[in-house]
Amino acid sequence: MASGLSFLLAARQCEIGELEDLAKTSELLGVLGRFTHELQRERGASNGYLGSQGGRFAARRLEQAAQCERAELLVRESFDRLDSDASRVRNGARLFSRIAVVLHAMDSLPALRARIAAQQLTPAEATKAFVQLIAGLLAVVFEAADSATDPEVSRALVAMFNFMQGKEFAGQERAFGSLVFASGGTDAGGQQHWRHLIDLQQGCLQVFLEFSSPAAVLANLSSQDPDVMADLERLRRIGCTPGRQDPELSQAWFDCSTARIDAMRVVEAQLAANLRVLCSQRIEQARGELRDQQAILDSLARQASPAEPAHYGPHLERSVVALVQEQTLRLQAMSDELDTVRATLNERKVIERAKGLLMAHRQLSEEEAYKMLRQTAMNQNKRVLDVAEAVLAMADVLPVRGR
Amino acid sequence: MASGLSFLLAARQCEIGELEDLAKTSELLGVLGRFTHELQRERGASNGYLGSQGGRFAARRLEQAAQCERAELLVRESFDRLDSDASRVRNGARLFSRIAVVLHAMDSLPALRARIAAQQLTPAEATKAFVQLIAGLLAVVFEAADSATDPEVSRALVAMFNFMQGKEFAGQERAFGSLVFASGGTDAGGQQHWRHLIDLQQGCLQVFLEFSSPAAVLANLSSQDPDVMADLERLRRIGCTPGRQDPELSQAWFDCSTARIDAMRVVEAQLAANLRVLCSQRIEQARGELRDQQAILDSLARQASPAEPAHYGPHLERSVVALVQEQTLRLQAMSDELDTVRATLNERKVIERAKGLLMAHRQLSEEEAYKMLRQTAMNQNKRVLDVAEAVLAMADVLPVRGR
């Protein structure tokens, strides 16, 4: 019959199993990051191609689509590796559903490219299709972060997810700014949208800074060329000023924001590599601890009375109690830390859910819903999270329009 | 290469795998409930035996210990069944650590009984040992509830955990009241402790009522004999009144609270049985849905163009999109519901953590720490949870005494 000590070892083995799952997921995130980056570039090139009625970006778009297909292949191979022994993957139900959504969108990419080539879509329509696919890929990253059980890895995943999401908002800003300059200006609504995209990036980067290692923070800082950033801020200021814009600035804007996004991609790749190293280290560490524990238990078993193997002397008894207590306290501390990291993910979930509710009940766009939450928070001197929670609590009494 | 549809099926299989794990856990909870009940009775008999200097309860205690050992054997067998393929058990690290603690305490039961038989312990010391073991068993139930991913099952587990915890507080009240009557009365501190035990029971039963099915609520209501409950309230009132108590009431108190606890045990066994049925139903349902989905996908595959198997016609395309969306929305709704259920478990964790902090920093007993939280909440017109969160937020600045 299994003893308490054998369960102590089994608990350790579970920890190792969870870390090995995380290592697998980290591999996946690396290729997802690369694919997302190629899609962001293809979105930019497609926009340029459609915006110029096929006059520009034709070759660049085709070349970028080929790059994208190579990255896509790696993603599909990574997905396939997850699929083996599917029913035992932790958080598999949600992770696999997200993957199903993404694969379905990936299957439609050839058709999307054909319609872009034939100029059957507006830039806004093409952008929307790319944005949706990328949002699906980021949802996969989010699920991976949400299923991590090791606080250190979870922290790195939360940092990475927010960095990737921030980079995507930077990509959306690039596309929007290009259109604003190319079309000669925008109205108050467009200016507000632009500011919204900047705010979203800052929110993501704030969470990234909070959760990433000092080394990652430094890498991000040193990746940003001050000249590029100064240029970016100058062009943002010009683009957000009412009045007619010089279409020539479109290219300058595109190059400058691309330089920044490419620098972010370098940091992102480094985050993914760090994550893989972290997982390997944690696995090595847990395996070492398991070996040590096993050795202690073996020596305890040898010293135990052979007549009554379940009973140790008072000295051994204390060792066993200490081992059990140490592990319990350690897991408790890990669990407390994990709860703290997860709180950030939960905040995101609550805000997303409140946004979804407002969109459905008030027939708002996603951006309008967020703006309503933020405005209410500012008016009431509360956090957006508090307002989102209040909205969800009121869900049952909110009027539904149009039903 | 795996398609989105195959991941849709894999996601379903994961759901089924999670439900099968829950079914295993439910079996375990049934035997844990029985063992806890026998331990509660043995604690009562041991108290009576020690309190009467061995004059009473001698035979009853031995008989009860034998009952307890039979229930313990079932628990050990259930633990063994969990141990197979340990590294893939969900939430295994924490669950197995809790089990290691419990098994260690179970291994010490023969020694505890020998010391009770030799009257080498005070009733308070013996009670403490039983209370700790039972707390360890309840911690296993809590981990099981905390790892459930199906909201309906999670709801039933939260209800069951709180019912079991409430029953344990009822058992502690029985033991304490017996001592108060037998020793001829108690002081203000003892009266406050008695009221505390009643409050804790009410707190647990409130959560139970909130999360259990109407049938379970009804079962609980109808299990309570109004005469027994009236007797219980009368004896509580007498026991909590300052002044000298009639030691003869000790037996009446013990019988009356035992009648109530035994009735609770009947409800608890029914909750465990309901839980097993619920798990089976959910597994059947999920398997049926998997079969249906498989059939739809097979028929889609047959209708798809053989030349381009990855491309469906526009009609089939819509079916696939609908399938993917339906599953995503369903999982989102399940996840939202699960978050709501889990909030209750998280509240408990936060309060436990704040209590632990106050105990360490202010060198308070568990009860004093809880009282401090509750008193502060009453003074500030807040919830205990809010105060506990504030305490945790202040953790870094709290002074540590005695270091």
What tens digit of pLDDT does each residue of A330-367 get? 877 787 788 778 788 888 888 888 888 888 888 888 88
Instruction: Output helix, strand, coil percentages for chain A, rounded to the nearest 5.
Output: 85, 0, 15
Q: Sorting pLDDT into bands at 50, 70 and 90, what band is B69?
A: very high
Token digits for A320? 């066993």
Cα–Cα dist B274/B213, whole Å: 10
The predicted structure's pLDDT at residue A344:
81
Cα–Cα dist A143/A140, whole Å: 5
Mutation for testing the A interface, residue in B76, B104, B342 having most A CBs under 10 Å: B104
| Inter-chain touch B336–A353, beta carbons under 8 Å | yes
Residue type at B14 in one-letter notation: C
Look at residues A138, A131, A193 and name the one whose alpha carbon lies nearest to residue A161. Answer: A138
Name every chain A residue with its beta carbon within 8 A of the beta carbon of B95.
11
Q: What percent of chain B has pLDDT over 90?
A: 36
Length of chain A: 403
Token digits for A70? 């190579």
| Cα separations in angstroms, A223 against A228, A233, A372, B396 | 11, 17, 35, 34
Contact assessment for residue A79 and residue A99, using Cβ atoms and an 8 Å cutoff: yes
Pick the residue with more confidence: B315 or B11?
B11
| Cα separations in angstroms, B54 against B118, B176, B304 | 9, 19, 82
Which residue carries 């141990």 as its tokens? B83
| Of the partner residues B10, B97, B324, the one whose CB lies closest to the CB of residue A328 | B97
The interface residues of chain A toward chain B in range 97-116, judged by CB-CB distance below 8 A, are: 97-104, 106-107
- The residues, ordered by sequence, that sit 6+ positions from B335 with a Cβ below 8 Å of its Cβ are A94
DSSP for B199-242, written as a single string: HHHHHHHHHHHHHS-HHHHHHHHHHS-HHHHHHHHHHHHHHTSS
Q: Sorting pLDDT into bands at 50, 70 and 90, what band is A311?
A: low
Token digits for B252? 């009446």
Is the model's pLDDT at B325 over the cut of 90? no
The predicted structure's pLDDT at residue B247:
80
Cα–Cα dist A214/B396, whole Å: 22
The predicted structure's pLDDT at residue A316:
64
- CB pairs under 8 A, 24+ apart, for B214-218? B215/B274, B216/B159, B216/B267, B216/B270, B216/B271, B216/B274
Is the model's pLDDT at B312 over the cut of 60? no
The predicted structure's pLDDT at residue B403:
39
Q: Where are the domains of chain B?
A: 4-282, 315-397
Look at residues B318, B378, B323, B390 and name the one whose alpha carbon lies nearest to residue B350. Answer: B390
Is the model's pLDDT at B196 over the cut of 70? yes
DSSP for A235-299, written as a single string: HHHHHTSSS---TTHHHHHHHHHHHHHHHHHHHHHHHHHHHHHHHHHHHHHHHHHHHHHHHHHHH
The predicted structure's pLDDT at residue A392:
80
Name every chain B residue with its beta carbon within 8 A of the beta carbon of A3.
103, 107
Is the model's pLDDT at A173 over the cut of 50? yes
Mutation for testing the B interface, residue in A96, A103, A340 having most B CBs under 10 Å: A96
Cα–Cα dist B399/A102, whole Å: 51
The predicted structure's pLDDT at residue A288:
93
DSSP assignment letter at B3: -
Is the model's pLDDT at A307 over the cut of 60? no
Which residue carries 């957000």 as its tokens? A240
SS3 readout for B331-382: HHHHHHHHHHHHHHHHHHHHHHHHHHHHHHHHCCCHHHHHHHHHHHHHHHCC
Q: Sorting pLDDT into bands at 50, 70 and 90, what band is A403?
A: very low
The predicted structure's pLDDT at residue A222:
82
Is the model's pLDDT at B52 over the cut of 70? yes
| Of the partner residues A8, A92, A102, the one whose CB lies closest to the CB of residue B10 | A92
| Inter-chain touch A7–B349, beta carbons under 8 Å | no
| Cα separations in angstroms, A356 against A13, A350, A360, A364, B275 | 40, 10, 6, 9, 33
Name every chain A residue with its beta carbon within 8 A of the beta carbon of B99.
4, 7
- The residues, ordered by sequence, that sit 6+ positions from A379 with a Cβ below 8 Å of its Cβ are none
Cα–Cα dist B96/A11, whole Å: 5
Look at residues A63, A297, A26 and name the one whose alpha carbon lies nearest to residue A154. Answer: A26
Element (H, E) at A114: helix A109-117
The predicted structure's pLDDT at residue B397:
58
- Mean pLDDT for the stretch of residues B182-201: 88
Length of chain B: 403
| Of the partner residues B11, B89, B102, the one whose CB lies closest to the CB of residue A93 | B11
The interface residues of chain B toward chain A in range 70-89, judged by CB-CB distance below 8 A, are: 76-77, 79-80, 83, 86-89
Contact assessment for residue B327 and residue A97, using Cβ atoms and an 8 Å cutoff: yes
Is the model's pLDDT at B380 over the cut of 90? no
| Of the partner residues B1, B14, B336, the one whose CB lies closest to the CB of residue A92 | B14
Mutation for testing the A interface, residue in B14, B82, B137 having most A CBs under 10 Å: B14
Contact assessment for residue A5 and residue A316, using Cβ atoms and an 8 Å cutoff: no
The predicted structure's pLDDT at residue A309:
47
Contact assessment for residue B400 and residue B360, using Cβ atoms and an 8 Å cutoff: yes
Instruction: Output helix, strand, coil percentages for chain B, rounded to the nearest 5.
Output: 85, 0, 15
Predicted interface score ipTM higher than 0.90: no
Is B340 within 8 Å of chain A by CB? no
| Inter-chain touch A339–B346, beta carbons under 8 Å | yes
Q: Where are the alpha helices (DSSP H) in B52-150?
A: 58-83, 92-107, 109-117, 123-147
- Mean of all residue pLDDT scores within chain B: 85
Residue type at B261 in one-letter notation: I
| Inter-chain touch A93–B331, beta carbons under 8 Å | yes
Q: What is the reported pTM?
A: 0.82
Pick the residue with more confidence: B399 or A374?
A374
- Mean pLDDT for the stretch of residues A58-74: 95
pLDDT, tens digit (0-9, with 9 covering 90-100), for B130-166: 999 999 999 999 888 888 888 889 899 999 999 999 9
The predicted structure's pLDDT at residue A55:
83
Cα–Cα dist B157/B148, whole Å: 8
pLDDT, tens digit (0-9, with 9 covering 90-100), for B271-306: 999 999 999 999 999 999 899 888 887 877 776 655
Options 1.20.1290.10, 1.10.10.10, 3.10.580.10, 1.10.3720.10; CATH of B315-397: 1.10.10.10
Contact assessment for residue A258 and residue A23, using Cβ atoms and an 8 Å cutoff: no
Q: How many CB atoms lie within 10 A of CB B184?
A: 12
Element (H, E) at A244: none
Cα–Cα dist B10/B17, whole Å: 10
Q: Where are the alpha helices (DSSP H) in A108-225?
A: 109-117, 123-147, 151-182, 188-211, 214-223
- Mean pLDDT for the stretch of residues A321-336: 78
The CATH number of domain A319-397 is 1.10.10.10: yes
Cα–Cα dist B168/B138, whole Å: 9
Cα–Cα dist A177/A179, whole Å: 5
Look at residues A122, A115, A103 and name the one whose alpha carbon lies nearest to residue A50. Answer: A122
Cα–Cα dist B236/B230, whole Å: 10
| Of the partner residues A4, A77, A87, the one whose CB lies closest to the CB of residue B17 | A87
